[in-house]
Amino acid sequence: MIPPPRPDLRVTPVGAGLAVDDPVTGGRARLGPESAAVWRALLDGHRHPATLIAAVPHLSPATLRDRLCQLDDALLLDGARFAAHRGLFARAEPLPAAADLPLRLDPALRHQCVRCGASCTGVHVGPVPDTTRAAVERLGLWRAVPGAQKPDDAFVRGQSPDGPWAMMRRVGEACFALAQDATCGLHAAEGPAAKPPICRQFPYTFTRGPDAVYVGLQMECARFEATLPAGAERPVERVEAELTALVAEGAEVFDLPDPVPLAAGLWISRAAYLGQAPRWAAALDADAPPDALRALAAEILAAAGDALPPDPWRATAYWPAADAPSPAAARAAFVAALDDLLERLSEAASLGGRALEAEATAAARRALHATADAPPLADPEARRLAQLPWRAAVREHGLIRQRDLAAGFGRLELSIALARGIAADRAPAPVPIRALNDGLRLASRVLRMAPVDALLRQHAFVLRAALLPALEAGPWLGVPA
């Protein structure tokens, strides 16, 4: 029997779909018309594949199964999967305030800006706090924006569900506060406190856990070959003190959730996940870190999947023409969709005069089509740089940031593959470290663009598939409920 919808959920009609608020997970799911039709048929008692197929004739059996699995993975059905996970959510522990936690910084991630100005160019900088707006007015920096009549004209404004926001305007492609000598006008005149928080913490990223704030690095610095050696000269305690102050002043901090999502419909407790931290650290020191990390992630996923009780109704035999999905076909569809999107983004950026954005998307598109394997990295420094994204992601538990561990792993692999492809396209073997750095920066920027990010979420199945051979996988994994 197919499990019924959970009776404790709060359900609200929204157009032809439903909004479902979950008091156990704290999540809100939006069900489209297809899922809503399945939901209503289940409530009407059609809980066997044969009767459900008859009750919802406008959906194919394969689609019905997909929608059911999607509902079940979102823990909205009162079945074995919800029963297996319910306790994890009930026992979830709150996190201490970030300002009360010690910082955990891998000394290898120490960074020192060399003021190349590249990070202030080609990106939209914000949100901008009142302190920055006041400094822009005080210093008259707004006059650098062509056509600006008053200080407020230096900011792009908008409205989000969280309230109004403001971003620094760009002049050409650079932040208007960037001076000719590639220094920040705000920083030079009033110190780092005048800058938007995102600039102060760049390229550091923070994740709050139960015992520490873990520090990572965003891969968008243009000069890691210079900024990391410069950072290594700085005493660890001093860097930690600066970062601790940033966190206390409200830097952007991601919360490590409890339980931790591993893949669609699969969680483990935060304590169990953190219990594997020594193994993640050991994998970083292996001869081939990506392979060791992949093996460990796959093992964790498989163990969690094996612990789930079987769900007989999911068997494709009950659903005529419902085939197990082909990762290869899904991958081909994803590559085609990404190629199309990158082409459109590149054209739009060219037409809009955003040369850096056009260059980044075009370079990523060429890398997507590169048929040859990326050439090996002869330079030991370049080899170390190629491992940096893995080190940063493991140290700050960054793989979890991208929806779940499996999707995060696939996304990072994609980012590094694009970076290597971009580097190889720019400089034939041996790939110089600057080309690899450019590749990492451009690939990271492209994957962070809102339309690309949305596409990656839509095709999360492809990102997860590499780690999921032992688990049941379906196209619904890429379409969150």
Q: Does 178 bind ligand SF4 (CB under 6 A)?
A: yes
Q: Does 440 bind ligand SF4 (CB under 6 A)?
A: no
3-class SS of residue 268: strand
Q: Does 186 bind ligand SF4 (CB under 6 A)?
A: yes
What secondary structure letter does DSSP report for 92? P
Compare residues 88 and 120 and give the one whose CB is closer to ligand SF4.
Answer: 120
Residues 201 and 246: beta-carbon distance below 8 Å: yes
Distance between start and end Cα atoms, the chain: 21
Q: Does 177 bind ligand SF4 (CB under 6 A)?
A: yes
- Can you name the residues that pair with 240 across neighbouring β-strands? none
The window from 175-183, 330-338, 386-394, 429-437 that contacts ligand SF4 (CB under 6 A) reads: 175-183
Residues 29 and 481: beta-carbon distance below 8 Å: yes
Distance of CA 218 to the CA centre of its chain: 11
Q: Does 246 bind ligand SF4 (CB under 6 A)?
A: no
Q: Does 71 bind ligand SF4 (CB under 6 A)?
A: no
Which residue from 81, 169, 170, 195 is in contact with ligand SF4, where contact means CB under 6 A? 195
The window from 73-81, 192-200, 446-454, 459-467 that contacts ligand SF4 (CB under 6 A) reads: 192-200
Distance of CA 60 to the CA centre of its chain: 33
Compare residues 171 and 337 and give the one whose CB is closer to ligand SF4.
Answer: 171
Characterize the bridge pairing of strands 204-208 and 253-255: parallel
Compare residues 195 and 365 and give the one whose CB is closer to ligand SF4.
Answer: 195
Q: How many Cα atoms are found within 13 Å in the side-chain-facing hemisphere of 337?
A: 17
CB of 163 vs ligand SF4, minimal distance in Å: 21
DSSP of 226-240, one letter per residue? HHHHHHHTS-HHHHH
Which residue from 74, 101, 109, 125 is in contact with ligand SF4, where contact means CB under 6 A? 125
Q: Does 166 bind ligand SF4 (CB under 6 A)?
A: no
Residues 109 and 389: beta-carbon distance below 8 Å: no
Which residue from 59, 76, 98, 168 is in contact with ligand SF4, where contact means CB under 6 A? 168
Ranges of beta strands (E only) in 313-426 are none
Sequence-ordered list of residues with C-beta below 8 angstroms from that of 267, at least 6 positions apart, any chain: 85, 88, 259, 260, 261, 304
Q: Does 199 bind ligand SF4 (CB under 6 A)?
A: yes
With CB under 6 A as the rule, give the number of residues binding ligand SF4: 12
Compare residues 162 and 181 and give the one whose CB is closer to ligand SF4.
Answer: 181
Q: Can you give the binding site for ligand SF4, defined by CB under 6 A?
A: 120, 125, 168, 175, 177-178, 184, 186-187, 195-196, 199
